[in-house]
Amino acid sequence: MHHGGIHEEAIAGKAYDTALLRRFIRYVAPYRFSVIVVMIILPLVAACRLAQPWIIKLAIDSHIITRQLAGLEKVALGFLAILLVESLLSFLEVYLLQSVGQRVMSDIRSELYRHVMHLPVSWFDRVPTGSAVTRLTSDVEVLGEMFASGIITIVGDILLLIGIISVMLWMNLKLSLVTFTILPLLLYVAYSFRRRMRASFREVRARLGTMNSFLNECIAGISIIQIFNRQRDEERRFHELNASYRDANMPVIFWDASLYALVEALSSVAVALIIWYGGGEIITGALTFGVLVAFIQYIEKFFAPIRDLSAKYSVMQGAMASLERIFALLDTPAREILPMDHPEETTTGRDSSPTPLIEFRDVSFSYQEGNDILSDFNLTVHQGELIALVGESGGGKTTITRLLTRLYEIERGSILLGGTDIRTMELTEVRQRVGVVLQDPCLFAGTIEFNICLGDERARGRVRQAAVAVGADRFIDRLPLGYDELVRERGSNFSVGEKQLISFARAVAFDPEILILDEATASIDSASEQMIQEGIKGMMAGRTSLVIAHRLSTIRDAHRIITIQHGVKVEEGTHDQLLAAEGTYFKLHQLQFNERPERVR
């Protein structure tokens, strides 16, 4: 496990709210009708709220102070009717916003997942799993909060504030100007807090991704942690990351609480100004008591959305940070393809022999610049051949198979499949022709049948035939539900050998032209290996096979054995030929069996 401190994901370039929101709008466009309805509702809700203090003013000045009770019941019923209308409109507003938010989140989540499925494997080498999961889950959830209490409701708040200012100016200009003397200070406070909260939210999202990565790694390796009694050590490391995430939230809480408190204080100051100035005006007869009460209520309604502004800033700034991360992921190139304007001709500089099925021509590749894993590597494989790749760990054997399946793109040279450069072929075509069985079998939650065919209808028809070919039917038929037996997470209810047999059957079910076995029997015990050897032979029948093996006993029958050292092919020949040469393969064989090998005659 790696715990090299807090992992921070940098967002390239400077992000602007307007640019992010402009890009975000295209996800909302399909639901424009619901948004339009909400935009119609917003001024109606604002009108209902504006009418309430005016009705109270009317009741006080026209009925209560004058002691004219006639008509007061109509005013009260009108006030109640407006409250009911406001409640109904608010329900529709919230319901439509929430439903649009859920649909938008679903669309973004689907696009993110689809994009991640097509990212090059090199991206996953760089980005922690937890960080990627955070983008598809909590980052997207923040956008739902933005819909519920953010972007569109701010429009309603702005309409209400404009309406309150207009009505107050219309009712009494002098009292309004006295009240609004605090507005410049209020605007300055809101603007100042905006920038500080944005930086804090970026930090929070980065720390959350780091903690998720750690949790994912620990849960996946829980057996190792327990076996080696590392629980306390992992708890300490999690405590550090958890504390780091907590500390990142503290500035957000501080600015949030400070903004709320300052707005509350300014609201109280505004009410005090109204009482001080308005009380004097009432005494002189220049202002009615109803207007004073209405002004106090309007001020309360004026500062209510501003008080909520701290929470809405939190939501909006969190959403901006999430949008930055989401769009950064979507902007990651889905495929790293080297353009081929002039594909190499297969006959250039070659003899007139039949076209090889696989050909590596002067291929060089490195995972990190300046550290070549393969250097000018050449390999020719003909139809039906069984080729074994052997050599030291890290020598480049697995890299050869990764380049052939285009999990990574070559840097120099070319790889030809049936005489065609694979970079000029559709990616799906290349991978349909190549089947891979890895050392560590990967099983998914579902049935055994699904894990063999992976939901492909053509492969589904070959599930049982494939299981028989590799001997997996022997244990599957003994299960209570057979091929419908459920596979738990990571196949925890099956042995390593059984999981590998399922992955063998998967390769056969997809009927590839080329088969790659990357240490496919390394994790299988001797009894299981003996059981599936015949199945492997059946699986390879009629196919071209590349086998990476450390167990040299499993590749004695290969047509050719390629010895690779430091990314360079150093030997090539049959088992007997390489033993006779007493080179690198001979030494590997001698080390593995701890004896001088007996040559087969």
% of the chain beyond a pLDDT of 70: 85
DSSP single-letter state for residue 596: P
| DSSP labels, 137-206 | THHHHHHHHHHHHTHHHHHHHHHHHHHHHHHHHHH-HHHHHHHGGGHHHHHHHHHHHHHHHHHHHHHHHH
Task: Look at residue 30 in the predicted model and tell me its pLDDT.
Answer: 92
Residue 421 sits in a domain whose CATH number is 3.40.50.300
Does 145 lie in the same domain as 44? yes
Residues 362 and 324 in one domain: no
Please give the DSSP secondary-structure letter assigned to residue 61: I
Q: Within a domain: residue 344?
A: no
* Contact status, residue 73 vs residue 115, Cβ threshold 8 Å: no
Let me know whether 516 and 565 are in one domain: yes
Same domain, 104 and 144: yes
Q: How confident is the model at residue 234 (pLDDT cuts 50, 70, 90)?
A: confident
Closest CA to 592 of 541, 550, 564, 554: 550
Question: Would you say residue 600 has pLDDT above 70?
Answer: no
Same domain, 395 and 540: yes
The set of residues, in sequence order, having a beta carbon less than 8 Å from that of 530 and lying 6+ positions away, is none
CATH number for the domain harbouring residue 257: 1.20.1560.10
The residues, ordered by sequence, that sit 6+ positions from 352 with a Cβ below 8 Å of its Cβ are: none
Same domain for 406 and 310, yes or no, is no
Q: Are residues 265 and 383 in the same domain?
A: no
Contact status, residue 505 vs residue 473, Cβ threshold 8 Å: no
Claim to verify: residue 308 and residue 368 sit in the same structural domain:
no
pLDDT, tens digit (0-9, with 9 covering 90-100), for 334-360: 754 444 444 444 444 444 457 788 999
> Measured in whole angstroms, how far is the alpha carbon of residue 463 from the centre of its chain?
32
pLDDT at 576 (0 to 100)? 87
Residue 14 pLDDT: 37
Within a domain: 345: no
| Residues 66 and 147 occupy one common structural domain | yes
Q: What is the pLDDT of residues 538-571, one digit of tens each?
A: 667 678 888 888 777 778 888 899 998 888 888 8
Q: ∠275-277-281 over CA atoms, to 5°? A: 105
Q: pLDDT higher for 458 or 489? A: 458
Q: What percent of the chain has pLDDT over 90?
A: 7
Residues 450 and 463: their CA atoms lie apart, in Å, by 9
Give yes or no: residues 135 and 226 share one domain: yes
> Could you tell me if residue 601 is inside a domain?
no
pLDDT tens per residue across span 255-265: 777 877 887 88
Distance CA 109, CA 102 (A): 10
Asked whether the beta carbons of 422 and 404 are under 8 A apart, the reply is yes
Q: Contact, 273 vs 302, CB < 8 A? A: no
When the pLDDT of each residue in the chain is averaged and rounded to a whole number, the result is 80
Longest dimension (CA), the chain: 124
Q: Does 447 score more than 50 pLDDT?
A: yes
Domain boundary among 330, 350, 375: 330
Among the candidates 330, 348, 378, a domain finishes at 330
Q: With respect to residue 11, please indicate whether it lies within any of the assigned structural domains.
A: no
CA atoms within 13 A on the CB side of 24: 24
578 inside domain: yes
Task: Report the number of distinct structural domains present in the chain.
Answer: 2
pLDDT of residue 528: 60
Return the axis-axis angle of helices 129-136 and 309-330, rounded to nearest 10°. Answer: 120
Residue where one domain finishes, among candidates 291, 311, 330: 330
The whole-angstrom separation of Cα 22 and Cα 13 is 17
- The verdict on 55 and 101 lying in the same domain is yes
Is residue 27's pLDDT more than 60? yes
Alpha helices (runs of H) in 308-385, residue ranges in sequence order: 309-330
pLDDT (tens digit per residue) in 287-336: 788 888 888 888 888 887 776 665 676 677 778 878 888 888 888 887 54
Element (H, E) at 36: helix 32-59
Same domain? 575 vs 433: yes
Q: Which residue range forms the structural domain that includes residue 270?
A: 17-330
- Domain-embedded: residue 543: yes
| Residue pLDDT, tens place only, 159-189 | 888 888 888 888 888 888 888 888 888 777 7
**This prediction's pTM:** 0.71
